[in-house]
Amino acid sequence: MDKAGASIVFEGVSFGYGHRRVLEDISLVMPAGQVTVVVGKSGSGKSTLLELINGMHAPAQGVVRLAGEALDYARIHARRRQIGYVVQHFGLFPHMTVLENIGLPGVLQQTPAAQIRERVSELMHKMRLPEALLSRYPYALSGGEQQRVGLCRALLLDPPLLLMDEPFASLDYATKHSIYTYFRDLQRVEPRTVVLVTHDWEEAKLLADGVVWIDEGRIREKGDVASLESMGEAYRAGV
């Protein structure tokens, strides 16, 4: 994948746990360099889409393609180096400092320590986090600070693909909107392929280039920014 990411294509993808189907016959294109927001109620299957892209599961049927190539789930570890993953509850290691948490992907990649430290400083500045926090542990941070640290870690290796699973759900209104502003600015300057899962339609409106609405494991509706308002009315009404 190049710096601007790569398209993600689902071709007739189905997945389930045992006899319970979670996704059924999903076909869609998530364009390169754009933010595709996946909305839906809890249990609708939207997080499972991310897990299929990240190789945590393989489809029971169908194909997932990145940059035109079918995902090889037997060799998914190499592909994951090009993917950043951000989750709702931060996913920080409590026994590691902020510096160690953010720098972990670089350590695993055997990146020189000086290069890791330089990149961490750059990301902390972009996220408006004071470097005094680098020696602290996650418990000493606010929820907003922890989420921004998690985003720094996901971006450390400058991945062309970013997967985000309800990343802002636990943040207060003001913190959310400050991160939205940063995220939009960053995407404008350094576009990458982003898949953002959320149940918050207002968040979708603020961040999306395109939206996919998942309902009970199937695509209920999908569209670009122009279709957001009409789709949102039906989504909020639950019809």
Instruction: Please check whether residue 17 lies inside any domain of the structure.
Output: no
Mean pLDDT of 156-172: 88
What does the pLDDT look like over 125-160, one tens digit per residue? 888 899 999 999 999 998 888 888 998 999 999 999
- How many secondary structure helices (H) and strands (E) does the chain include? 8, 10
Closest by CA position to 212, among listed 8, 1, 72, 33: 8
Could you tell me the pTM of the whole model?
0.88
Looking at residue 89, what is its pLDDT? 67
Instruction: Please check whether residue 225 lies inside any domain of the structure.
Output: no
C-alpha span between 180 and 174 (Å, rounded): 10
Contact predicate 77/19, CB 8 Å: no
Instruction: Please check whether residue 43 lies inside any domain of the structure.
Output: no
Q: Which residue has the higher pLDDT, 237 or 185?
A: 185
Q: φ and ψ at 222, to 5 degrees?
A: -150, 155
Instruction: Please check whether residue 32 lies inside any domain of the structure.
Output: no
Percent of the chain whose predicted confidence (pLDDT) is above 90 = 54
What does the pLDDT look like over 77-127, one tens digit per residue? 878 878 998 877 668 999 999 999 999 999 999 999 999 999 999 999 888
pLDDT at residue 3 greater than cutoff 60: no
* Mean pLDDT score of the chain: 89
Instruction: Please check whether residue 192 lies inside any domain of the structure.
Output: no
Cβ atoms within 10 Å, residue 64: 21
Contact predicate 171/142, CB 8 Å: no
Q: Which domain holds residue 106?
A: 93-158
Write the single-letter amino acid at 11: E
C-alpha span between 63 and 15 (Å, rounded): 11
Mean pLDDT of 67-79: 86
Looking at residue 161, what is its pLDDT? 93
pLDDT at residue 238 greater than cutoff 80: no
What does the pLDDT look like over 189-218, one tens digit per residue? 888 999 999 988 888 889 999 999 999 999
Contact predicate 168/9, CB 8 Å: no
Q: How many domains in the chain?
A: 1
Looking at residue 87, what is its pLDDT? 78
Contact predicate 5/195, CB 8 Å: no
Instruction: Please check whether residue 212 lies inside any domain of the structure.
Output: no
Instruction: Please check whether residue 221 lies inside any domain of the structure.
Output: no
Instruction: Please check whether residue 11 lies inside any domain of the structure.
Output: no
